[in-house]
Amino acid sequence: MKLSELTEKIDGLDIFKRYGRIKRVVGLMIESQGPAASIGDVCLIYPKGTGSEQVIRAEVIGFKDETVILMPYADISAISPGSLVKSLGHALEIKVGPSLIGKVVNSMGEPLDGTSLPRTLTSIGTEQSPPPPLSRPPITEQMEVGVRAIDSMLTVGKGQRIGIFAGSGVGKSTLLGMIARNTKADLNVIALIGERGREVREFIERDLGPEGRSRSIIVAATSDQPALMRIKGAFTATAIAEYFRDKGLNVMLMMDSVTRVAMAQREVGLAIGEPPATKGYTPSVFAIMPKLLERTGTNHLGTITAFYTVLVDGDDMNEPIADAVRGILDGHIVLDRALANKGQYPAINVLKSVSRLMNHLAAEEHKEAAMLIRDMMSTYLNSEDLINIGAYKKGSSAEVDRAIDYYPKIISYLKQRTDEKVSFEESIASLVQLARKGER
């Protein structure tokens, strides 16, 4: 570089540090007079002056006249009027790379076990735009997830996005653990958003296990953390998955749960004065959902196959968040409490679930077998009340007779122990064999 160019760069440098000052704190919201910043910028708050080691990170979420509105990433009990605020001039960035595999990190990408990050990692921003629609290659390959009911009846493709809808305690985390251990994806990225603190370790050790953890990156943001940390946990996990997708890998992203992301965004929206709209959810909740969910999928380098759990209140599958997410994703899996109470695990209600890409991915024989099994299940359930009270007489309908004979075999086929490994080929072969016997 020429001396004149260096001189010009030096002349253009801003050697002054500009700070703002805290004016007011109301609930989750911090108001500051300055500094100059943009929406999404990360700021540092110095509770005891610029020399303090206790620095609180916050994010700019809005403006009011000349006042900057901030939301903290951590506890704000040390903040006082006049505390200095410094803008970093950019949005949140995390460090990511292959050496992160096997680690459990927080929403900032920092290891939760207290160890330091390797120096070989690359810095990336957590806020990215979804791939343009015409740059997304069509989904043409099947993704083996290792769960018989999904592989056979709800076939998933590489780059497909699926929602798992269920009430509390029906087996969402257990199902995610099975998928993480059994899937043929190159890497798992697992986001635990709004979970109880004790459940994080239980999921890692019991549901995920050493086998699953060895090829997974876990991002955990527990329920006790500020709302912004829970939101950022979802965006951090998605950014990590995008990084490895751009390296040419087939990534499996699992987020538990997207409902708690929506609840956290509602907290932020209400704090800055947004009006509550549908059942108390603010408009920004429904704006952030597609921005988050559309980032996964395919691009010309790799794929992100995503499973998002949706916690439905009172098992109402039509509540606002469930309805919005179902409209964005490429299919949904419904976990039924009635099936769980009967001891059917995973408690997947096949008749209420759908994979929108199965017809494009499955072979003709596979599709015909799945349709026949669905038909027999539907026939049995439509007549179940009559059968249970003894009002149905055998021989009245050949279809009902066949359904009665084969329904227990179908349920036995759909059941799977958490430690049971079944390949995609084995699942399809068993399904076709069961369907052929049912045709006789």
Give the pLDDT score at 54.
Answer: 79
Give the pLDDT score at 14.
Answer: 62
CA distance 283 to 13: 41
- Half-sphere exposure (CA, 13 Å, Cβ side) for 155? 25
The reported pTM is 0.90
Separation of CA 309 from chain center: 7
Work out the number of other CB atoms within 10 angstroms of the CB of residue 166: 26
Give the containing element (helix H, strand E) for 373. helix 364-382
Give the pLDDT score at 239.
Answer: 96
Average pLDDT, the chain: 89
CA distance 426 to 406: 20
Work out the number of other CB atoms within 10 angstroms of the CB of residue 246: 14
Give the pLDDT score at 440.
Answer: 56
- Structural domains for the chain: 17-87 (2.40.10.170), 93-360 (3.40.50.12240), 365-439 (1.20.1270.330)
Residues contacting 438, CB < 8 A, separation 6+? 372, 373, 376, 402, 406
Give the pLDDT score at 114.
Answer: 80
426-432 contacts, C-beta under 8 A, 24 or more apart: 427/148, 427/151, 427/152, 428/151, 428/152, 428/363, 428/366, 428/369, 430/148, 430/152, 431/152, 431/153, 431/366, 431/369, 431/370, 431/373, 432/365, 432/366, 432/369
Tens-binned pLDDT, residue by residue, of the chain (440 aa): 577 777 777 766 666 677 899 999 888 889 999 888 889 899 999 886 545 467 889 999 888 888 999 999 888 877 888 889 999 988 999 999 999 999 999 999 999 888 888 888 999 999 888 988 898 999 999 999 999 999 999 999 999 999 999 988 888 888 999 999 999 999 999 999 998 888 888 888 888 888 888 999 999 999 989 899 999 999 999 999 999 999 999 999 999 889 999 999 999 998 888 888 878 899 999 999 999 999 999 999 999 999 999 988 766 777 899 999 999 999 999 999 989 988 899 999 999 999 999 999 999 999 999 999 999 999 999 888 888 888 888 888 888 888 888 999 999 999 999 889 999 999 999 999 999 876 65
Among the listed residues 344, 340, 369, the one whose alpha carbon sits nearest the alpha carbon of residue 151: 369
Condensed to tens digits (0 to 9), the pLDDT of residues 371-411 reads 999 999 999 998 888 888 888 888 888 888 888 889 999 99
CA distance 440 to 438: 6
Give the pLDDT score at 50.
Answer: 46
Condensed to tens digits (0 to 9), the pLDDT of residues 180-215 reads 999 999 999 999 999 888 888 888 888 888 888 899
